[in-house]
């Protein structure tokens, strides 16, 4: 009986590993494919000597609502475009202004450390924590996708572009402008009637990292609480 249970557990582990590898491989493949298409279709010009010197184009996909230039009577608006951007930094372009002699090895070391931590965490996560394991694989696939960009190109291709205007039902006045330039995305200004924001450009890998982190938080705050209650109920 013990031999059968051990073999059954090994089979479950093997099937779980194969499934997660397929998810990770498919996510990385889709990420790289979309970036190749974005580079081919959206890049207009690039300097052979300086990666920061380039010109990309914006392709409108859809727009919902009507953009209002009247700040006193704003309307709801959502816009999505394909916009080519080379990101040589981290999320939201952080640290992109660093010298290449420091920036490149810095991101290599940070990414490799993230790989090791995620793999160790994945190995230590029980099989029945499926949401957490799936989230870890999504984060890993996103990190691999962006790392491949840095390794083969020296930058990360971003091309998903969202912007919006959200009217408020009551007056709001919020202004944050004390963060330094490399954290400029945290500096926001909301007028009394609406929130207009041009979200930083991103890609499929970024989406997978964000989705994976959300799943990890959900598993920790919600599912783990349910599991603890269930174990307490099952105790004699």
CA atoms of 207 and 73, how far apart (whole Å): 33
Q: φ and ψ at 137, to 5 degrees?
A: -65, -40
CA atoms of 60 and 162, how far apart (whole Å): 10
- Residue 189: its H or E element: strand 189-190
Catalytic (active site) residue 184:
no
Q: What is the pLDDT of residue 32?
A: 97
DSSP state of 51: T
Choose the catalytic residue: 31, 149, 161, 206: 206
CB 83 within 8 A of CB 159: yes
User: What residue segments make up the domains of the chain, in order of their start?
Assistant: 2-234
Choose the catalytic residue: 31, 149, 158, 219: 158
Q: Which residues of the chain have pLDDT under 50?
A: 1-4
- Residue 17: its H or E element: helix 2-42
Catalytic (active site) residue 49:
no
Q: What is the pLDDT of residue 66?
A: 87
Q: What is the pLDDT of residue 103?
A: 65
Q: What is the pLDDT of residue 201?
A: 92
């Amino acid at each position: 009986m013990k031999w059968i249970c051990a073999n059954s557990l090994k089979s479950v582990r093997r099937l779980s590993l194969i499934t997660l590898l397929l998810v990770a491989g498919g996510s990385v493949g889709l990420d790289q494919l979309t970036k190749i298409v974005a580079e081919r279709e959206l890049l207009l010009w690039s300097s052979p000597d300086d990666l920061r010197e380039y010109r990309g184009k914006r392709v409108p996909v859809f727009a919902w609502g009507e953009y209002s230039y009247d700040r006193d009577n704003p309307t709801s608006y959502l816009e999505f475009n394909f916009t080519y951007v080379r990101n040589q930094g981290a999320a939201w372009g952080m640290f992109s202004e660093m010298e290449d002699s420091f920036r490149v090895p810095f991101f290599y070391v940070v990414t490799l450390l993230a790989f090791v931590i995620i793999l160790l965490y994945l190995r230590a996560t029980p099989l029945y924590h499926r949401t957490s394991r799936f989230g870890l694989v999504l984060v890993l696939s996103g990190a691999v996708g962006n790392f491949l960009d840095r390794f083969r190109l020296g930058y990360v291709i971003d091309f998903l572009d969202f912007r919006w205007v959200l009217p408020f039902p009551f007056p709001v006045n919020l202004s944050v402008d004390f963060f330094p330039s490399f954290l400029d995305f945290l500096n926001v200004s909301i007028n009394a009637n609406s929130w207009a924001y041009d979200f930083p450009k991103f890609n499929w890998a970024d989406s997978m990292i964000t989705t994976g982190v959300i799943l990890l938080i959900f598993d920790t705050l919600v599912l783990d609480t349910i599991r603890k209650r269930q174990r307490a109920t099952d105790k004699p």
